[in-house]
Structure 1
Amino acid sequence: MHATVSIEVTNETGHAVDEAEFAALARHVLDAMHVHPQTDLSITLVGTEVMSDLHVRWMDEPGPTDVLSFPMDELRPGREDAVTPAGLLGDVVLCPEVAAVQARAAGHSTVEELLLLTTHGILHLLGYDHAEPEEEKEMFALQRRLLLTFLAGRGADGSLERTLP
C-alpha cells in the first residue's frame, strides 16, 4: 500500500529534529498496521511546561511526561486484505527534554528515543495498551519490530537496536 497519509509534524520547541523523518516513521507504522492511506495524524513536539499542563489536564498526573496520545476516531489496525477506514487517527505529543533524559539512561540518542516514543504513541492511538503484562509484551514487541524495520530501511547504524528491551 502506498501511503498518502496526511501526517503533520509540528515542532514547538528549540530542539532540532528532522520533521520529515518523523513523518516517514509514522507513514511506515501506519502502512505496516494497514491503516487507510487517507488517515490524518498529528505529531507535535512541545516543551516541558506545555507537556506538564497536558499531563495534569488529561492524566491527572504532575510534571512532564515523554509522550501523550489523543485518539480521535478510535481507529484500529486493519489487515492486509482489509485496511482501516479513513479517518482522523489523532495526536501524538512528544517532549524532547524528557526524551533526552531517557535516551541518556538507555544509551541511545535523543532522536532515537523520540522515534521510539512516536511509534509508541501511534500504537496507543490504534488501541494498544500496556496496563497488563500480556498487553505490554505484545505492544513493546510490536513497537520494537516497527521501529527496527523503519531504521533498517533508513540505513541506521543499529545503536538503538542494541539498547531496546
Structure 2
Amino acid sequence: MIRFERGNNQFNFRSIALLIEDNSILIQRDLKDDFWALPGGRVELFENSNDTVVREIYEELGWKVQANRPVWFIENFFKIGRTNFHEIATIYLMDLVDYAKHEPAHEFKGLEDHLIFQWFDISKLDQINFRPRELRSKLGHLPNTVEFLTVGRE
C-alpha cells in the first residue's frame, strides 16, 4: 500500500467508492472511530486506482462492483487523535454488479470485523458526523466532469 509515516504525520494514497442507490449512499465507520466516511482503501504500488476501489469493496463486503467514472480527485488534510494526515484520493462513481441489498438506515457488518456499513439518505448527511464534511453538500449534485478538491486546509 502507498503510505508513509514521519513522526506523527502520515501520507496515504487512497481510492474511494461512491455507491449510490435510491438516493442513499453507502458509508462506513471503523468501530474505533466516531465518524462516517465513504468506503475505499489504500492503493497498492503499481495498482490502478480504479482497480483498488473494486478490490477494496470486494475485500470489505464481498460485492462485485465496477468503476463507472472518476468524480473527484481530493487532497485531504485532517487529524485523528495525535496523527496528522495528508491524503490524496480518487473518488469513483461505482456501478453495483452483484451485491447483498441491505435496508436503508440499518447498520450492517462487512467481512472485516472492524467496519460497519450503512446505506444513508444523501440529503441527511449533515445530521451525522460524516467526513470530509465538505463532501456532504456535493454528494447530492455530482459534477459531470472530474473536479479537484482540497479540503481541511485553511
- TM-score for both structures, normalised by structure 2: 0.24
More strand by share: 2
User: Which of structures 1 and 2 has the larger relative contact order (alpha carbons within 8 angstroms, sep 6+)?
Assistant: 2
- TM-score for both structures, normalised by structure 1: 0.23
More helix by share: 1
